Amino acid sequence: MARMKFLCDAERCIECNACVTACKNEHEVPWGVNRRRVVTIQDGKPGERSISVACMHCSDAPCMAVCPVDCFYQTEQGVVLHSKDLCIGCGYCFYACPFGAPQYPQAGNYGSRGKMDKCTFCAGGPEDDMSSLEFQKYGRNRLAEGKLPICAEMCSTKALLAGDGDQVSNIFRERIVARGFGSGAWGWGTAYSIKG
């Protein structure tokens, strides 16, 4: 069984925000809630890099560990999902999450935040696959339709990869080899700084 993973290749991400609007468009995520966001470090300086961040669907997910009402569950493919019926909007998962993934529709403390919303890896929620209830609460269930997350599928530079962790690693590994190997003269870029 595949283990679903995201990978954002910082050498390729150009902060075009396609992943953000593709997600919003696919799931009708409202203004103010961002399941996915692009973060830029060293903005405007040499070394500037951007990465697209959403729920990473961790193996040992901290959100699951801290949730007081146990609203999270992990699918057999490793996707971390939650039930908006059980969620009390306490915000613990937000503090536990290393990626800042959980989003709340309202500002405020505890229950006044509303139901937590986050990236579902385009895999819906506890309701029946592709049912209208599932759509209303969690968005489209692309995995059930045999498709992968729309953010990665539409990424402008193929920086954001999503899918079976083994395949994602293989694609990334090929790029690493190409970057290191160059035009056949292994290590020249690294050794002599100027290409060619």
Partner 1 sequence: MLRKKTSGVARGPLSSSFIGKAAETVVDRRAFLRGSGLAIGGLATAAALVGSNVTPAHAVGAGAAVEIKKSVCTHCSVGCTVVAEVQNGVWTGQEPGWDSPINLGAHCAKGASVRETASGERRLKYPMKLTGGKWVRMSWDDAINEIGDQMLDIREKSGPDSVYWLGSAKHSNEQAYLFRKFYAYWGTNNGDHQARICHSTTVAGVANTWGYGAMTNSYNDMHNSKAIFIIGGNPAEAHPVSLMHVLKAKEQNNAPVIVCDPRFTRTAAHADEYVRFRPGSDVALIWGIMWHIFDNKWEDKEFIRQRVYGMEDVVAEVKKWDPAETERVTGVPGEQLKRVAKIMANNRPGTFVWCMGGTQHTNGNNNTRAYCALQLALGNMGTAGGGANIFRGHCNVQGATDFCVLSHSLPGYYGLSAGAWKHWARVWDEDIDWLKGRFDSIKGKDGKSKSLMNMKGIPVSRWIDGVLEDKDNIDQPDNLRAMVFWGHAPNSQTRLKEMKTAMEKLDLMVVIDPYPTVSAVLSDRTDGVYLLPATTQFETYGSVTASNRSLQWREKIIEPSFDSLPDHTIIYKFAKKFGFADRMFRKIKVTNDEPYVEDVTREFNGGMWTIGYTGQSPERIKAHMANQHVFDRTTLQAVGGELDGEYYGLPWPCWGTAEMGHPGTPLLYDTSKPVAEGGLCFRARFGVEHEGNNLLAEGSYPVGSEIKDGYPEFTMGMLKKLGWDGDLTADERSAIEKVAGDKTNWKVDLSGGIQRVAIKHGCAPFGNAKARVKVWTFPDPIPLHREPLYTSRRDLVADYPTYSDRKLYRLPTLYKSIQDVDHTAAYPMILTSGRLVEYEGGGDETRSNPWLAELQQDMFVEMNPFDANGKNIRNGDMVWVKTPEGAQIKVMAQVTERVARGVAFLPFHFGGHLEGKDLRSKYPEGSDPYVLGESANTAFTYGYDSVTLMQESKCSLCTIERV
Q: Which of residues 30-49 bind partner 1 (CB under 8 A)?
A: 30-33, 43-46, 48-49
Query: What contacts 193, CB < 8 A, 6 or more positions away?
Result: none
Residue span binding partner 1 (CB under 8 A) among the ranges 54-62, 94-102, 131-139, 163-171: 131-139
- Choose which of 8, 29, 53, 161 interacts with partner 1 (CB under 8 A): 29
Under a CB-based contact definition with an 8 Å cutoff, are residues 20 and 8 in contact? no
Strands 49-53 and 72-74: unpaired
Establish if 68 lies at the interface with partner 1 (CB under 8 A): no
Alpha-carbon gap, residue 87 to 69, rounded angstroms: 7
Q: Which amino acid is at 28?
A: E
User: Look-up: residue for tokens 């290590």?
Assistant: 187
Alpha-carbon gap, residue 155 to 178, rounded angstroms: 20
Count of residues that interact with partner 1, criterion CB under 8 A: 77
Smallest gap from Cβ 111 to partner 1, in A, equals: 11
| 156 Cα distance to chain centroid | 16
Smallest gap from Cβ 172 to partner 1, in A, equals: 11
Establish if 127 lies at the interface with partner 1 (CB under 8 A): yes
Alpha-carbon gap, residue 34 to 165, rounded angstroms: 24
Alpha-carbon gap, residue 32 to 44, rounded angstroms: 25
Establish if 11 lies at the interface with partner 1 (CB under 8 A): yes
Q: Which x/- pattern, by CB under 8 A, does the window 154-193 give for partner 1?
A: xxxxx----------------x--xx-xxx----xx----
* C-alpha triplet 32, 37, 38: angle, nearest 5°: 140
Give Rg (Cα) of the chain: 19
Establish if 18 lies at the interface with partner 1 (CB under 8 A): yes
Residue span binding partner 1 (CB under 8 A) among the ranges 15-23, 54-62, 93-101, 165-173: 15-23
- Choose which of 115, 149, 162, 165 interacts with partner 1 (CB under 8 A): 115
- Choose which of 59, 98, 106, 166 interacts with partner 1 (CB under 8 A): 106
Residue span binding partner 1 (CB under 8 A) among the ranges 51-59, 91-99, 147-155, 163-171: 147-155
